[in-house]
A and B are shown apart, each in its own frame.
Chain A
Amino acid sequence: SQQGEEDPQALSIQEGENATMNCSYKTSINNLQWYRQNSGRGLVHLILIRSNEREKHSGRLRVTLDTSKKSSSLLITASRAADTASYFCATEPSGSARQLTFGSGTQLTVLP
């Protein structure tokens, strides 16, 4: 079963706008990670947030984590056409080191 579920499943925005994707999960976690997948390629790690962190930034990316609600959000600011990809959250459950579980992803399309 999927541990993380992304919302929305698909998102289409104009270049320059911000994109927000959400992830919900079911069990307690050690960390939550976000990955990006361009069409036909492997996944690439974007950012990792630990269970004791609430917010993290990396360039145009901002990730938040609310462990009480078991949810995370990924914000991409000032989006570009090159940001078009699928974005996945992955969770590492507490006590289950070495098993990252992925959600079904959000397909982001940034229109030029």
Chain B
Amino acid sequence: NAGVTQTPKFQVLKTGQSMTLQCAQDMNHNSMYWYRQDPGMGLRLIYYSASEGTTDKGEVPNGYNVSRLNKREFSLRLESAAPSQTSVYFCASRTGTGREKLFFGSGTQLSVL
């Protein structure tokens, strides 16, 4: 059972380039999340999808877009990367039927030069 899988694990971009971070879960979870983690800041919520077909902004959505492609997959897109988006990005999921724990992927280390 793979759990939450994120790709790629590492990425280096130049300012202005675009890219999509992929996330897939095989636990039949309804809710999926994208967080970013910066040193000393903890995790901040970028976007989440409470269920297939819905997405909502979190605390820091500017500069990002998301797509809930199906129940399994939730992608995060940077249309025009900026150095301020250098961070570690985590995807997470949970069942969504109540208030329960999150399952995390192993993260994507993104550097924007």
Q: Are B105 and A104 in contact, CB atoms less than 8 angstroms apart?
A: no
Cross-chain contact of A45 among B35, B42, B58, B103 (Cβ < 8 A) = B103
Closest partner residue, chain A, to B91 (CB atom): A42
B: interface residue count bin: 20 to 34
- Cα distance, A90 to B40, chains bound together (Å): 15
Q: Are A97 and B42 in contact, CB atoms less than 8 angstroms apart?
A: no
Chain B nearest Cβ from A15, distance in angstroms:
27
Cross-chain contact of B100 among A43, A48, A88 (Cβ < 8 A) = A48
> Known contacts being A42-B106, A104-B40, is A97 close to B90, with CB within 8 Å?
no
Residue from the set B35, B43, B58, B105 with the largest chain A CB neighbour count within 10 Å = B43
Chain A nearest Cβ from B22, distance in angstroms:
15
Cross-chain contact of B101 among A30, A33, A42, A88 (Cβ < 8 A) = A33
Q: CB-CB < 8 A to A97: which residues of B? A: 99
Q: Are B42 and A42 in contact, CB atoms less than 8 angstroms apart?
A: no
Contact with B along A81-102 (1 / 0, CB 8 A): 0000000101010000111111
Q: Are B99 and A42 in contact, CB atoms less than 8 angstroms apart?
A: no
Instruction: List residues of A (5-61) whose CB comes within 8 Å of B's CBs.
Output: 30-31, 33, 35, 40-45, 48
Taking beta carbons and an 8 Å cutoff, which residues of A are in contact with B? 1-2, 30-31, 33, 35, 40-45, 48, 88, 90, 92, 97-105
8 A-B residue pairs with CB within 8 Å: A2-B41, A2-B42, A31-B99, A40-B107, A42-B92, A42-B105, A90-B102, A104-B42
**When A and B form their complex, which 3 residue pairs have the shortest distance between CB atoms, in order from nearest?**
A42-B104, A45-B101, A104-B42
